[in-house]
Amino acid sequence: MALLGLALLTAGCAAQGKPYERANAPSNAATIYVYRPYSFFGSLMHPTVHCGNESAVIEPGGYHAFVVPAGRVTCSASTETADLLDIDADPHVYYVRERMGWGLLVGRPELNPVDDDQAQSEIQSCCVQQP
């Protein structure tokens, strides 16, 4: 009974939306997938992620495809502190994993680049998040 209650309690915590599918991007643009695998830790925190001029809130179990012009792009997320990731973006696909780390008062977002193979295995369980 306790396990059923826990399952019902946590079922609403994961992102809702269409399962992962590759975005269509112009040939002169870069696509940066920022995804956040589900984790109960930090699941109540939803910092806004910015990449270039776009932004999106990515819930646990969600992802967003940022289609940006080729060139230097800064992605960031912040709570009590900010994490910045600079990408020299060619017209290519990039993957960034967001996770919540320990903070002084609240969790801190961490943005980490991930190679294609690892990202493909992790992002498959994520759902699209609209800005």
Are 61 and 87 in contact by the 8 Å Cβ rule? The answer is: no
Neighbours of 27 (CB within 10 A): 6
Are 127 and 16 in contact by the 8 Å Cβ rule? The answer is: yes
- Domains of the chain by start residue, with CATH: 2-128 (2.60.40)
The DSSP bridge partners found for residue 63 are 35, 128
Specify the length of the chain in residues.
Answer: 131
- What is the Cα–Cα distance from 4 to 129, expressed in whole angstroms? 27
Are 127 and 15 in contact by the 8 Å Cβ rule? The answer is: yes
Q: What is the mean pLDDT of residues 98-123?
A: 88
Amino acid present at 100:
M
69-87 pLDDT per residue, tens = 999 999 999 888 888 999 9
Residue 101 sits at the vertex; the CA angle it makes with 131 and 67, to the nearest 5 degrees, is 30
pLDDT at 125: 84
Q: What is the mean pLDDT of residues 91-99?
A: 95
